[in-house]
Amino acid sequence: MGAVKDVLRRPLGHFTERTLAGLALVLGAGVGFGLLLTLVRVEWSPLYAVDHGVAQWLNDRVAPISPLVTVLTAITDLGGRAVLIWLVTVAVLGLLIRRQGRLAVFLIVTGLGALLLDPSLKTLVDRLRPEVDVEIGTYAGQSFPSGHALGSMVAYGAVLLVFLPAMAPRWRKAAIAIVALLVFLIGFTRIALGVHFLSDVLGAWLLGAAWLGVTAYAFRLWRLERGRPATGLTEGLEPEAAHEVSPAPDEEKLLPHPRAAVFEVVAGWVLVFGALYAFGMFVSYYAGGTFLATLDEVVPNWFDARRTPARDDFSAWWSEVGNTHAILLISLVFCPLVLAIWRRWRPVLFVALTMFGELSLFLASAAAVGRPRPPIENLDGPMPTSSFPSGHIAATLCIWVAIAVIVFPRTDRWWRWVFVALAVVMPVGVAISRMYRGMHHPTDFMGAILLTGLWIGLLYWVVRPNEDLREGNRPSIESEDVDTLDDELARAAQPG
């Protein structure tokens, strides 16, 4: 029994000796949060006065300035639950693909802890949100602590600690400063938008620092138990994993001739826009008496005659598959996974340029052509852009075709055909829903196909997203190992 106690004491003593200052900071943050929680619970009058005074003072200055409200709202969204869950989930998947299971467990435990602490403490304290003269936004739930401030402190801090080793030493302090600034700005926006008190944000920061410190030092304790050296804050959690957590450690150049590539992309964009403009003007104003004009007249009327409430609801759901948020979400999941598996930025650049070009070409063409919507009831109501080409269809085509172009040659497994099928089924479904809802003509769909074919063809020729395959690049995880990713997580959670 004495031998067992000695075994337990050694790593703990080793840990506390090397990390006494850090441990003191963690304990200080915890004590500070406990004190602030007590003051909020007893409604200490000086704190009450400061909280309400700051909330009203900021509301008087922020509410009248609409552009400032827009900027603050955009910043505060970076601390929202959807963004933070995406960040942690993608990071965990990338770490599992790179076989860094213990780092993945650290992110999962740290993130889940923040998710549990926020609602439980809000229910315990049951503090009402601020009441200000001009309500900028309406938020449900209790006020203390701020979930955005807590979540951003924990999520961004944990991801930073995991990926710091991938950065050059001269950039690490700058990265820490940037993350600290982001966390501060998110917390500030919660007060400036009138949805939290100052003490809500301060309490969230203290709690987040304490929880992040506890999990980080638990990870360091595991390292010391295995004879690995203690690391400083600027070295990250696992310096030995620098190569594995680096997004593209084996890539020397993004493009061999970047200046020429920029010129080719810009010149190509102009040519694609010219083709879209010519086709759009023809089908919109000069195609009378042709098959295309007949098609644009018959198809909308055919859909209009077959509308039912159930079909209206289904078409609205399917139409959302092509909206900006859905396409952005797909891109933000696919691109990090490409980096994790193939360790190359070029496929990511291909996707990014594809979607940027699609958006800019769509907006420019819609403004230049100015085509009216079909002369039937438009179920989505007035839209800020004209009918040609369809932005929903073009975006859906571009993202799924780009994904198929990257994935198909990178594996010989049967499921690569799934991506080919998605590149057909998803755009066709969106196209049918948009025409059913009276938002587009059939030739708008043709315009989206023209945009996708020309633009992706140009980028494939310029960027060459699969060039690394010719150079012999292999994925970090073979296709037959995909089913074993959960085993990595299970092994990482086991002691020893």
100-153 residue pLDDT tens: 888 998 999 999 988 888 888 888 887 778 877 677 766 777 878 888 899 999
Q: Higher model confidence: residue 52 or residue 205?
A: 205
pLDDT given at position 489: 44
Check residues 143 and 447 and name the one with the higher pLDDT: 447
What are 43-73's pLDDT values in tens digits? 788 888 888 888 888 888 887 888 888 888 8
Token pair 């296709």 is found at 479
The reported pLDDT for the residue numbered 8 is 40
Q: Decide if pLDDT at 310 tops 70.
A: yes
Does residue 6 have a pLDDT over 70? no
Domains and CATH numbers, the chain: 2-245 (no CATH), 258-484 (1.20.144)
| pLDDT at res. 492 | 47
- pLDDT band, residue 427 (cuts 50/70/90): very high
Mean pLDDT of the chain: 84
Sign of the C-alpha dihedral computed for residues 82, 87, 91 and 92 taken in this order: negative
Within its chain, how far is the Cα of 121 from the centroid?
27
Structure tokens at 339: 């980096």
Alpha carbon of residue 425 to chain centroid: 25
Q: Which residues contact 254 (CB under 8 A, 6 or more apart)?
A: 345, 346, 349
User: For residues 148 and 190, is the Cβ–Cβ distance under 8 A?
Assistant: yes
In angstroms, the CA 281 to CA 389 distance is: 11
Once rounded to an integer, what is the mean pLDDT over residues 235-261?
A: 80
- pTM to 2 decimal places: 0.80
Is there a contact between 152 and 84 (Cβ–Cβ < 8 Å)? yes
Query: First and final CA of the chain: distance in angstroms?
Result: 20
Q: Convert 403-465 into a string of H (helix), E (strand) and C (coil).
A: HHHHHHHHCCCCCHHHHHHHHHHHHHHHHHHHHHCCCCCHHHHHHHHHHHHHHHHHHHHHHCC
Segment among 46-55, 411-420, 483-492 with least mean pLDDT: 483-492
